[in-house]
Amino acid sequence: MSQARRIGPFALAEVMGHGHGTVLYRATRAEGSRPPKEVCIRLARDPLDTTVAAAIRHEYNILRAMDNPRIPKAYGHYSDESAVAMSHFEGVPLQSVLEAQKTGSVDIAAGTAIDIVVEVAHALRHASSVIDSNGNRIVHGHLTPSQIRLSPDGNVMVVGFGTVPAEAQLAYMAPEVSRGERATPQSDQWSLASILIELITSDALYTHVGDPRDASAVGDVHHWILQAVELHPELEVALKTMLSFNPSDRFVYGHELLKTLLAAGRQIGGTVNRRSLLTQVTKSTSPPPEMTVKSPNTAPIEAFVEPDLTDRSFGSFADLDPPAQAEQVMPTFSEPFGFPPMAHEPSGILPVDSTAPPAPDPVPILLPSEFAGMALGGLMVLLGLTYVFWIL
């Protein structure tokens, strides 16, 4: 059995993707207990290709300059192999979420869409606040849904900083970049708005356009903005500003963009649950689990799967599907919701209320109020009989 190729202390595992003259691997630390145990390694197909080697070195420098939980961390550069090691990130790309939405497998709530975009905007804002070795602000430059990943715990990570894209994707490319100009933070802003529109409408920019390259060069996106605004008018200011043809007309500062997006999200309202969305996408792209237990003498029994309520806004449970069976499933409350767990009582015996006042000892046969009522009633009867005998 051949031994896995090693890059530094890491052993290459499976291929995760391909780039411009590069291959992205998942790799594990072969020995020792020093973290990280698992990384991603971008490796040049040809270590002697100086252009690709320079691009990998540039990616390492860019990632090393930034320190943000939404951006991969650089762990090492291996010049002899033309490789860079960076954070490994579990989860699925946003592109898979959009594909599941197009097939009707998942429904992306507007609040969740804005929440994801806000997380990406935070990463872009942090990047643009860092100056690279050439004295320029760090930008992504080719942001697409494939460069945004959702983890099982609901976190968002933006990958691809400092890399050269394998191919241009016009649907997410700002007009100035499409014309060959250098990308800026405002260019990333355009790309982010195009992703938001696709999350809201399920329709990417320039879909069904005869010549997407010409449409991208002039930034003709009025049709798609109108679609999104018809669904959610609260997004009009954010989308029209982010998708302005002139970069100087877009948001100047990242905090202005975040403030506008957050305000629109509050106006739209609804629940936000990235973890639930990821679970739906995972189920839609994997074979369904076995849900029945078959017995020769009994009918199939369906397994009950408890809904994931993590990160849910508990103001409404309307989007939770009711149990499919006729019998009602009683909710289980726990202390975080304000209801202490209840002990199970034997059948037919009611629990004792410890807060009620104790009964008097010994317990009287008649209460004072009951005795007074009986005496008054007897007196009235006696007066009535006396009146009747007197008249007679």
CATH code of the domain covering residue 63 = 3.30.200.20
Q: Which of 287, 334, 288, 285 is nearest to 309 (CA)?
A: 334
| 340 falls within a domain | no
Cis peptide bond upstream of 185, omega within 30: no
Same domain, 197 and 250: yes
Task: Name the DSSP class of 131.
Answer: B
- 104 Cβ neighbours under 8 A, 6+ residues apart: none
Same domain, 203 and 100: yes
Q: Each residue's pLDDT tens digit in the chain (392 positions)?
A: 457 899 999 999 999 988 889 999 999 987 777 889 999 999 999 989 999 999 999 999 999 999 999 999 999 999 999 999 999 988 899 999 999 999 998 999 999 999 999 999 999 999 999 998 888 899 999 999 999 999 988 899 999 999 988 788 999 999 999 999 999 999 999 999 999 999 999 999 999 998 999 999 999 999 999 999 999 999 999 999 999 999 999 999 999 999 999 999 999 998 888 888 888 888 877 655 444 333 333 333 333 333 343 443 433 333 333 333 333 333 333 333 333 333 333 333 333 344 444 444 444 444 455 556 677 777 777 777 777 666 65
Decide: 129 and 122 in contact? Cβ < 8 Å: no
Cis peptide bond upstream of 175, omega within 30: no
Same domain, 74 and 104: no
| 144 falls within a domain | yes
- 165 Cβ neighbours under 8 A, 6+ residues apart: 19, 20, 142
Domain closes at, from 70, 88, 106: 88
The enclosing domain of 221 has a CATH number of 1.10.510.10
What pLDDT, on a 0 to 100 scale, did the predictor assign at position 338?
35
Decide: 42 and 7 in contact? Cβ < 8 Å: no
Same domain, 83 and 114: no
Same domain, 65 and 140: no
Same domain, 181 and 222: yes
First to last CA, the chain: 126
Domain closes at, from 251, 283, 315: 283
pLDDT per residue over 43-94, tens digit each?
Answer: 999 989 999 999 999 999 999 999 999 999 999 999 999 999 999 988 899 9
pTM listed for this prediction = 0.72
Same domain, 242 and 191: yes
* Structural element, H or E, at residue 236: helix 236-242
Q: Which of 124, 114, 90, 160 is nearest to 274 (CA)?
A: 114
Same domain, 277 and 173: yes
| 357 falls within a domain | no
Cis peptide bond upstream of 362, omega within 30: yes
Torsion of CA 63, 66, 67, 73, to 10 degrees: 0
Place of tokens 């991969």: 72
Same domain, 183 and 34: no
Q: How many domains does the chain have?
A: 2
| 309 falls within a domain | no
| 387 falls within a domain | no
Task: Name the DSSP class of 13.
Answer: E
Domain closes at, from 28, 59, 88: 88
Residue 249: both structure tokens together = 């007309």
Same domain, 174 and 82: no
Domain that holds residue 119: 89-283
Same domain, 61 and 108: no
